[in-house]
Amino acid sequence: MFSIGDLARRTGVKVPTIRYYEQMGLLPSEGRTAGNQRRYSRSGLDRLGFIRHARELGLPLEDIRRLIDMDGSDHAEAHRIAEHHLSDIRARIDRLRRLEGELTRIATACDAGEDAPCRIVEAFGDHSLCEDDSHHH
């Protein structure tokens, strides 16, 4: 059996986060000591490792909950969750690439000449040259 501190050290997940996962029903505490300290089995440690890795991949907690609940039995749903998340990641990458282009334009708006006003601040406010309309309000 592992203490909550053991789980934190072994997985790199902070104790308050472990408690939060337990409150959310993602990680069951498998008992308590006479001193009321939480105890976890090897399966709890493995579950926390699964949650940590899924979070590192950016999966929302509700998707993680669904994956845990299906326990590997619903291949189609697991595939759908993975494909949906991959689609979201690709959309974010696309937005980041557009932002990179816009920031490159802004950063090069000024030639850094000492005898002329800097155009970078002006460029931040100039949406007319933007390739990305998603940040216009």
How many beta carbons lie within 10 A of that of residue 15, not counting itself?
14
Topology (CATH) of 4-70 = Multidrug-efflux Transporter Regulator; Chain: A; Domain 2 (1.10.1660)
Q: Give the pLDDT confidence of 96-116 residue by residue, as tens digits.
A: 999 898 888 877 776 666 666
Q: Between the CA of residue 134 and those of 16, 102, 114, what are the distances in Å? A: 36, 12, 34
Q: Any residues with CB less than 8 A from the CB of 95 and at least 6 apart, and which?
A: 132, 134
Q: Give the pLDDT confidence of 56-96 residue by residue, as tens digits.
A: 999 999 999 999 998 778 889 999 999 999 999 999 999 99
- Domain limits, the chain: 4-70, 75-132
